[in-house]
Structure 1
């Protein structure tokens, strides 16, 4: 099943991005993004670009969080914008296709606190403020995101004052942004349910099965499995129930 997603990503790009519609699948390059754990992520690119691929140069605030970062000054993205204007880049020649869910979390968005529609509205707001990539297209079970080149900084570099000076205002802006959700969520119960699901899934990851993964992935899975099996997650739930201030920020 996992091997079918690259082909799905190619097909979706060809069907949703007008300038890709006549591309043979073999001319669409696909690269898996291995650090996506709750979603399946693929970088899709094409070798040539046309004027219909061009959009206004985004305002980049990338400081290397490990994902392509923040971008557009507006929430509008038109594939057919006039390419004769100055300051334009090829936004549609390289994109990220995101399928909700993964082999670790299950299919779809059932593990999330917000609906797909609510998430799209949140991302639209964040993109307009230059602190999130833009959503270029959406489809049932996923979306196509803007790809922005960035440099991934190691922890020591992130801790330096010049980088913190850039990051702090962006983080503060993110935290004070108000988002409208259609219903109130019980985060404690959601966390409790997700812990139960995760424990069930991780119990199936024996050493024999972990041998099929790369060493970094296997090491991460061992650490996560140990975390849940040692019950610190249960203690986290206990602390959450004792918090008096119930208005919290959650990703």
Structure 2
């Protein structure tokens, strides 16, 4: 489940937008959509793709309505590639992104995707076009939430995260993404909360509770907590939840592929790990409102966290019990911050037309944040990697 949720979709050309409209007409059976897909392939791919048209390609809509619309496009049955070109590709059409720096964000994501493709850490990049890109189509399925706890899959996910973290990417290397995202979303929160129409008592109680929070002060408090310690900054995925982790199909051994790097940026490494662990507790496959399950007892145990951390550190060549302990302590801090971040995200999207219980989700994340903050205040500041006096007498 990609995190950016548009109120409308932005297409490739103004003429396409006018012809197709923004509400319905992304169906793979829509003649305009098929014509657009054929044009993109002719302009961006080589070989036999130069001769395709809307009548002789297979177009299948496989995902969409959140931040991207994705289509599997296949050559006609029996067609033989001329120069080793792919028989099938994935067309990704970007949705609208929040904020004033949309173009900058899209350029950054394209650079990141190209680097990941080159280093075989993500799908192969076949082409870029205004409003989207053409990617390798990977026969795969997203992991189920419960599969995140599978020891083998958890180890593979840890290795993938480590491979991402050791990348050197030519973008801003300061950990500004986390705080900028919070600040940007905070700027929208008040407007969103004031624009609700008639809502039931349950939702009004959630809105009232959110309004009672001093979110700007909470962000400042979290930033102060982080600044009290030195935390390693690396290139992070920042949204490594089960929907963005694909399990390749039809392979002899289990292999994972990471997708959806639109939130990727330099950030505190412990945020990426902590955020991944938090996602063990949320399942987004519910068929009825609020369209997610909160799995309150699914938080990874210390043993499960260590299993992940050890494979992560081994991949980086940093096998060290002190490093394990330091990362475990850092995760406590950034678990709390993950809840605050995505709580703000839920508020910002809570008046979206997309069917999802954003307000309930925001309430869940912010309550978890408050609970963890209270525990931290009672236990005292966390000294990352340093034993406190009461911990020496186990």
Within 5 Å, which residues of 2 pair with 1:23-172? Answer: 23-34=52-63, 37-48=66-77, 49-52=79-82, 54=84, 79=85, 91=86, 93-101=87-95, 106=96, 115-172=105-162
* Bigger helix fraction: 2
Worse overlay, 176-185 or 14-23 = 176-185
Q: How many residues align?
A: 192
- Counterpart Cα distance in 2 of 1:122 and 1:14: 25
2:185 counterpart (172, 185, 194) = 194
Q: In the TM superposition, what is the alpha-carbon distance from 1:126 to its structure 2 partner?
A: 1.6
After TM superposition, what 4+ stretches of structure 1 lie above 6 angstroms from structure 2? 204-207
Report Cα offsets for 1:87-117 as digits up to 9, x if no partner: xxxx2x211111121xxxx368857695333
- Counterpart Cα distance in 2 of 1:205 and 1:32: 35
- Counterpart Cα distance in 2 of 1:113 and 1:222: 27
Report Cα offsets for 1:106-139 as digits up to 9, x if no partner: 3688576953332222222222332200111101
Structure 1 unaligned residues grouped into runs of 5+: 55-78, 80-90, 208-214, 240-251
- Counterpart Cα distance in 1 of 2:43 and 2:145: 40
Secondary structure at the aligned position of 1:43 is classed as strand
RMSD: 4.1
Secondary structure at the aligned position of 1:130 is classed as coil
Report Cα offsets for 1:134-170 as digits up to 9, x if no partner: 1111011111111111244323334222222322211
Structure 1 residues 175, 4: closer, same or farther in 2, change over 3 A?
same
- Counterpart Cα distance in 2 of 1:204 and 1:20: 50
Worse overlay, 185-194 or 195-204 = 195-204
Secondary structure at the aligned position of 1:41 is classed as strand
Contact kept in structure 2, 1:113 and 1:190, CA below 8 Å: no
The question of 1:225 aligning with 2:359 is answered: yes
TM-score by length of 2: 0.40
Structure 1 residues 129, 45: closer, same or farther in 2, change over 3 A?
same
Question: In the alignment, which residue of structure 2 is the partner of 1:65?
Answer: none
Larger radius of gyration between Structure 1 and Structure 2 = 2
- Counterpart Cα distance in 1 of 2:42 and 2:169: 32
TM-score by length of 1: 0.59
Question: In the alignment, which residue of structure 2 is the partner of 1:10?
Answer: 38
Question: In the alignment, which residue of structure 2 is the partner of 1:175?
Answer: 165
- Counterpart Cα distance in 1 of 2:66 and 2:171: 25
